[in-house]
A and B are shown apart, each in its own frame.
Chain A
């Protein structure tokens, strides 16, 4: 008996199941097309090589290394992320699949699925770039645990911030410029916290950067909660 079957089955579905389905689909598509990965990795590797060759570890005084390396690391991470993370929604718009997705999935599930996908991309980026940056620049890290915590939590915040901005700009005609313009004020507080946290984690004396980890975590929680409320409004017409 097929009549009315959709109603009971729709109610039995959970947001998490739908989000996971979207995440897996995006990963599968990305694996086959390498749409965002290529953009992110190419940007990251190019800037990393340029920085390491032009500055290296020997041109900077030891007492300035902790601050300048933190700045350079986060410039590479943030701008690499900006070069590829907007694609998650833009690709749906360009391929004409966005309305099919609107008819099928609930907005919050779409946001979570896209967020999981962007976080996966960012995690891959950080796994490659951070160790290579530390090795190439001979980055002196006095407190590895808070340093890694800063990179991970601020990375999650970066993913949450760029995902909601990507959703906002997907239907605009000047997407590239708009994405950077909207992301910048949203990500600036997070960047400042992340730079300070990484700097403190690399200095032997003084605070080790846990306060910045907590602030970055608060940023992440606020960003995800606000986005879950805001996204349905963006997702509608």
Chain B
């Protein structure tokens, strides 16, 4: 049903080459790991796939039932967790969830959001300001927010950051569920995280 085509993308910052000729295709059920040294461009590649920044050359296309999804719409088919993506500290967890439901056009029933918080183990802290969360709890909240609209493409940039063993188990469960129908890209150097992928791209090579 869904297809992601990344075709020969290169990224330069000023005149410095970050990576070049990165190509791959993902279909529903596929999981790809992106590895590489610090500064090799893993997070940049994730941001390019999400449509947040443009590649210097090459194309990223997403297809739904053989029709191309426009770039500005592609972002809304993406669920992304990354260290640089924050949620609103001055809102409670449930307020954050309801807000992102509304701006994404997902039915914003509070019990749906609460179910998602339960999935990541935060239902007991739903009415606490997210600014008062620990870094691990914030990471769990980011995971819940990324999954709210059941995205066909899940981009996980260092998904295990700040998570304890229970939190890591949640990440595995999420990836397993996503692999049943959707596409997953994991940017990490952690062996445990990379092992969940079917294919690996190393940006340092």
Give the tally of cross-chain contacts (CB within 8 A).
100
Chain B residue nearest to A19 in the complex (CB)? B103
A6 contacts B149, CB within 8 Å?
yes
A12 to B107: give the CA distance in the assembly, Å. 10
Query: B105 contacts A10, CB within 8 Å?
Result: yes
Contact A104 B87 (CB under 8 A): no
- Measured CB to CB, the nearest residue on chain A to B155 is A103
From B94-102, B117-125, B197-205, give the one contacting chain A.
Answer: B94-102
Which residues of the other chain, B, contact A103 by a CB distance below 8 angstroms?
50, 52, 75-76, 78, 80, 85
Closest Cβ neighbor of B105 among chain A residues: A13
Chain B proximity of A28: nearest CB distance (Å): 7
B146 CB, min distance to chain A CBs, angstroms: 9
Give Cα A97–Cα B149 distance, bound, in whole angstroms. Answer: 18
Contact of A97 among B82, B88, B102, B182 (CB under 8 A): B88
Q: B63: CB under 8 A from chain A? A: no
List of B residues within 8 angstroms of A107 by Cβ: 72
How many chain B residues touch A (Cβ–Cβ < 8 Å)?
A: 39
Q: Which residues of A contact B84 (CB under 8 A)?
A: 96, 99
- Contact of B104 (CB < 8 Å), options: A28, A97, A104, A236: A104
Q: Which listed residue (A9, A32, A109) contacts B106, Cβ 8 A?
A: A9
A59 within 8 A of B: no
B150 touches A104 (CB 8 A): no
Contact, CB under 8 Å: B87 / A102:
no
Max count, chain B CB within 10 A of own CB: residue among A10, A11, A18: A10
The answer to whether the Cβ of B53 comes within 8 Å of any Cβ in the partner chain is: yes
Contact with B along A6-37 (1 / 0, CB 8 A): 11011111000110011001001100110000
Q: Which residues of B contact A175 (CB under 8 A)?
A: none
A18 contacts B78, C-beta separation under 8 Å: no
A237 within 8 A of B: yes
Question: Given the interface contacts A4-B152, A99-B52, does A32 sit within 8 Å of B77 by beta carbon?
Answer: no
Determine whether the beta carbon of B80 is less than 8 Å from that of A9. no
Q: Which residue of chain A has its CB nearest to the CB of B106?
A: A9
Across the interface, A6 reaches (CB within 8 A) one of B88, B89, B106, namely B106
Contact A25 to B91, CB < 8 A, known contacts A6-B106, A18-B102: yes
Shortest beta-carbon distance from A22 to chain B in Å: 6
Instruction: Tell whether B24 is near chain A: CB-to-CB under 8 Å.
Output: no
Contacts A29-B88, A95-B88, A99-B52 known; A18 to B75 CB distance under 8 Å?
no
* Contact A9-B105, Cβ < 8 Å, known A3-B181, A99-B84: yes
Which A residue's beta carbon lies closest to that of B101? A21
A95 touching B86, Cβ below 8 Å: yes
**Contact call A104/B88, Cβ cutoff below 8 A:** no
Interface residue B54 (Cβ < 8 Å from any Cβ of A): yes
Residues of B near A236 (CB, < 8 A) are 54
Query: Which chain A residue lies CB-closest to B107?
Result: A9
Report the minimal beta-carbon distance from B79 to chain A, rounded to whole angstroms.
8
Q: Bound state CA distance, A101 and B150, in angstroms? A: 17
Closest to A25 in B: B99
CB contact list, B110-163 vs A, under 8 A = 145, 149-152
| Cα separation A171 to B10 with both chains bound (whole Å) | 24
Name 26 A/B residue pairs within 8 A (Cβ), A-sorted: A2-B150, A6-B104, A6-B106, A6-B150, A6-B151, A7-B64, A7-B77, A10-B105, A18-B102, A18-B105, A21-B103, A22-B103, A25-B88, A29-B90, A29-B91, A95-B86, A97-B87, A99-B84, A100-B85, A100-B87, A100-B145, A101-B103, A102-B52, A104-B76, A236-B54, A237-B53
Q: Output the least CB separation between A3 and chain B (Å).
A: 5
Report the minimum CB–CB distance from A230 to chain B (whole Å).
15
Q: What's the Cα separation between A17 and B105 when bound, in Å?
A: 8
Structural contact, B52 and A21, CB atoms closer than 8 A:
no
Chain A residues closer than 8 Å to B85, beta-carbon distance: 96, 99-100, 103
B17 interface contact, C-beta 8 A: no
Q: Other than the known A10-B76, A96-B84, A103-B75, what 10 A-B pairs have Cβ atoms closer than 8 Å?
A: A4-B64, A5-B149, A6-B151, A9-B104, A25-B99, A97-B87, A102-B75, A103-B80, A107-B72, A232-B72
